Amino acid sequence: MEELISRITNNVGVDSATAEKAVGLILAFLEKEGPQDKVGALIAGIPGAQELIASADKGGFLSNMMGGVMGLGSKLMGAGLGMGEITGVAKETIAFAKEKAGAQTVDDVVNSIPGLGQFI
């Protein structure tokens, strides 16, 4: 996981604590919204993923009311990220997941979640 966090801090320009929180939120979202068998394989392929998911802030009142991609966006903005940073973190996370868990598995997860593909 350190490799992914380093890539995000270097390529997106957010600090490591924010990067860890954002990755945890993204992975928690995928775990909740994606097909369990594919998401399980994705998460199992990324060392440290479960720990980040467990530590991800589940969000406040507004983000709990909003579901799907919009709810995730709200949580990421609540973590201090702007739209450009959200896109950057998402792209780095997905690219890393493809390297570790396989492109087909990750594509299956992304394609199963309505609206997610337009952000990555």
**Residue 78 pLDDT > 50, yes or no?**
yes
Q: How far is CA 26 from CA 5, 67, 71, in A?
A: 13, 13, 11
66 confidence band (pLDDT: 50, 70, 90): low
> pLDDT tens digit string along 94-108?
999 999 999 999 999
H or E segment to which residue 78 belongs: helix 68-78
Averaged pLDDT score across all residues of the chain: 90
Instruction: Calculate mean pLDDT across residues 1-12.
Output: 96
Tell the residue number behind the tokens 């991800």, with chain if given. Answer: 56
Put simply, whether the predicted model's pTM sits higher than 0.85 gets the answer yes
